[in-house]
Structure 1
Amino acid sequence: MQFIKKILIISLFLFFTNFYSQESTTQDEVKAKIEIERIENNIKIFGTAENFTEITKSASYKLSVIRKNILDGNTSNNAQEGIFTLKPNEKIKLSTTQVNITADDEVIVMLIFYNEQKQIISKERLVFNSEKKK
């Protein structure tokens, strides 16, 4: 019985030691970046990820584009999701989308990265035409 008790105590100790020593990724390590290119009344949107560390990093992402017409209140929402892996000091394009924008549209673009526990580790948000709200 004593032997089982010792094994249980050692197992619990190792479990909690491993649990608390797990590394969490931060915005300083992996950065979410939205890059844009304007072409007349269109905005081309690129969701990018950059690894600032010397080790390989993996995460999931969600790129959302929300367009709301200020005059009539119509809203459209486009979301793209996926999983990526970055080599040390690597920068990659994750996703590309395009949206038509008029002077009466407010456009919100969000890029969010999540770790394996679904916690936000990095994000960026851009808003176009927000000053035109009534």
Structure 2
Amino acid sequence: MKQLYINSIFSCLMLIFNSAYGQLNESVIGKINIQESDNLVLINAQVDNEEPIFKNDLYYNLLALKKNTAGNYSSNRQEGEFSLEPNESKNLAEIRLSIDSGDDLRIYLFIKQNNIVISKDSLHILQSKRENVKEQVIREVDFELKGIVIDEVITKIGKDFHDYFYQEYSTSGKLYPFIITISEKPYFGRSSIITITSEDKKLFEFMSKPDEEFLKEAVKATLKNVNLYAKQRQLFNNGRF
């Protein structure tokens, strides 16, 4: 089961899943639509092609982050490739969530072409704790989210590595504006392969071992690669790399 760990400043927002932040394409428009019924929210990702030109090599990512009144976080994500016919409007994905009083829900949609974000949208829904008061819905145009680590591990060793990594990362003073995903897949016997990625890029990978010192050394190597990736990413975004 996935667990989403976020630093204490949940309101900082980010541009994600993009290694090159080019000029946004005004002819492809991504938009988040929501429908509500009682305590259920249906989230729909829509994209419009406003040009009479076929567009391919497109990729979408729809991400919903929810924080409940107990301070627990959960995440839901839909992503995939698609194309657009001339002047086509298309529904890309849906996420159905329950939302209770006091829940904080943030939704992000990113549209990429050739690994560059060309359209983005976001919504913030704060379900009021007071009865008979509609929830607050805010459309956020510019956003930056820092320090998110997504846990997709399947074993105790993987969970231990995630915990060691998150502790070091969250206290390092360097929380980067991109999501880091720690995933794990089975290997021979009881071993597994742990992979650390960000924005579709593999940052580090190793074969797990039930040894605390080994896992902590793997954390150091991972942080080194994350820091290197952050520097390269910054240079690229500044047009110097």
List aligned pairs for 1:84-103, cutoff 5 A: 84-103=82-101
- Identify the structure with the greater strand proportion: 1
- Which residue does 2:44 correspond to in 1? 46
Match of 2:121 among 101, 120, 124: 124
- Residue type matched to 1:103 in 2? S
AA aligned opposite 1:89: N
Matches within 5 A, 1:8-23: none
- Native 8 Å contact 1:25 1:115 kept in 2: no
User: 2: distance between equivalents of 1:78 and 1:103?
Assistant: 19
How many residues in Structure 1 have an aligned counterpart in Structure 2?
107
Given that 2:102 and 2:127 are in contact with CA atoms closer than 8 Å, whether structure 1 keeps it comes out as: no
Following superposition, which runs of at least 4 residues in structure 1 exceed 2 angstroms of deviation? 24-27
Is the 2:107–2:122 contact (alpha carbons within 8 Å) kept by the matching residues of 1? yes
Return the match for 1:109 from 86, 107, 112: 107
Aligned partners of 1:57, 1:94: CA distance in 2, in Å? 15
Which residue does 1:78 correspond to in 2?
A: 76
One-letter amino acid of the counterpart of residue 125, structure 2: F
Q: Kindly indicate whether the alpha-carbon contact (under 8 Å) linking 2:99 and 2:127 is maintained by their aligned counterparts in 1.
A: no
Identify unmatched segments of 5+ residues in structure 2. 1-21, 130-241
Deviation at 1:28, TM superposition (A): 1.2
Computing the radius of gyration from Cα coordinates, the structure with the larger value is 1
Cα shift at 1:25? 8.0
Cα displacement string for residues 54-88 of structure 1 (whole angstroms, at most 9, x for unaligned residues): 1011210000011001x321000111110111111
Q: Which blocks of at least 5 consecutive residues in structure 1 are unaligned?
A: 1-23
Q: TM-score, normalised by structure 2?
A: 0.42
Whole-Å Cα distance in 2 between the matches of residues 105 and 43 of structure 1?
A: 12
Alpha-carbon shift at residue 27 of structure 1 (Å): 3.6
DSSP-derived class of the 1:88 partner: coil
The amino acid across from 1:94 in the alignment is: L
Q: Quick one: distance in 2 between partners of 1:131 and 1:57?
A: 41
Secondary structure at the counterpart of residue 121 of structure 2: strand
CA RMSD of aligned residues (A): 1.8
Match of residue 63 from structure 1: 62
TM-score, normalization: structure 1? 0.74
Aligned-residue sequence identity (percent) comes to: 32
